[in-house]
């Protein structure tokens, strides 16, 4: 059994925020893969289902971002799981919008949700880092992550969420490479290497010229009795050049 955790803040006020992309990822996976209904448990919302051959619990902590570790730690201990059985989906300022990377272990890079999880279960869990871009200045970060995605972001956001859902079973089965391939097929589909066929204009088809019919020689007047040519010399000369 595994736990997929999506980070975000509860309530309609935050639903479309950049900080809530982890919640969005789990909602897409749950809907596409026929998970059971969301139920209040472990200070969050929990849904159960299967991804490929693996039983997976989807958990959205409702403790607010800064206390996410309380919910994750409670669920992990209840099911007697290890940190390696936990995968956390979260927003990542240091990745360009629409980019996705998977890593295991490491620091929290100042992310308050990860900081809280570190404090409750350690750092040896897997993370799916979802790029939302950076506002450019540190003092703008708080307002940026708590602001809704713009309309212009919806296309890449939808592709990213679909790609993660497509590859979710690979991630659950321990193959992050195939998971990343599934994401890439949505976010950066390969271009066809085959050059487009050029339309060749079919110009005038070869037509067989019909040779002109051979001129039928003018009959030479003959004497009906002897068969001799009865033309005078002038007529014979004129007929020669006809």
| Residues recognised as catalytic | 19
- The secondary structure element, H or E, covering residue 176 is helix 176-187
SS3 label, residue 47: strand
Please, which residues have CB within 8 angstroms of residue 144's CB and are 6 or more apart in sequence? 18, 134, 135
- With a CB cutoff of 8 Å and minimum separation 6, the contacts of 133 are 93, 95, 96, 97
Q: What are phi and psi of 16, to 5 degrees?
A: -95, 10
Alpha-carbon distance 177 to 171, whole Å? 8
Q: Which helix (H) or strand (E) holds 171?
A: helix 154-172
> How many CA atoms lie within 13 Å of 237's alpha carbon, on the beta-carbon side?
3
What is the rounded distance in angstroms from the CA atom of residue 121 to the CA atom of residue 127?
13
Coil, helix or strand at residue 15? coil
Tokens of 237: 């000369």
Query: What's the length of the chain?
Result: 242
């Amino acid at each position: 059994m595994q736990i997929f955790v999506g980070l975000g803040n509860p309530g309609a006020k935050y639903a479309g925020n950049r900080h809530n992309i982890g919640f969005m990822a789990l909602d897409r996976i749950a809907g596409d893969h026929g998970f059971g209904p969301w139920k209040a448990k472990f200070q969050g919302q929990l849904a159960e289902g299967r991804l490929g051959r693996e039983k997976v619990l989807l958990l959205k902590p409702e403790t607010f971002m800064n206390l996410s570790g309380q919910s994750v730690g409670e669920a992990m201990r209840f099911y007697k799981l290890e940190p390696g059985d936990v995968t956390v989906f979260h927003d990542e300022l240091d990745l360009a919008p629409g980019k996705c990377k998977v890593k295991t272990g490491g620091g929290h890079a100042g992310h308050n949700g990860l900081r809280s999880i570190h404090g409750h279960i350690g750092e040896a869990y897997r993370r799916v880092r979802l790029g939302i871009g950076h506002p450019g200045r540190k003092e703008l970060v708080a307002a940026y992550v708590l602001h809704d995605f713009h309309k212009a972001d919806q296309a890449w956001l939808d592709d990213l969420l679909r790609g993660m859902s497509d590859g979710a079973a690979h991630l659950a089965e321990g193959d992050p490479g195939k998971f990343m391939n599934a994401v890439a097929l949505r976010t950066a589909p390969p271009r066809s290497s085959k050059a487009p066929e050029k339309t060749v204009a079919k110009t005038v088809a070869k037509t067989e010229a019909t040779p002109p019919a051979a001129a039928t020689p003018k009959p030479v007047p003959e004497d009906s009795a002897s068969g001799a040519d009865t033309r005078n010399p002038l007529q014979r000369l004129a007929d020669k050049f006809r």
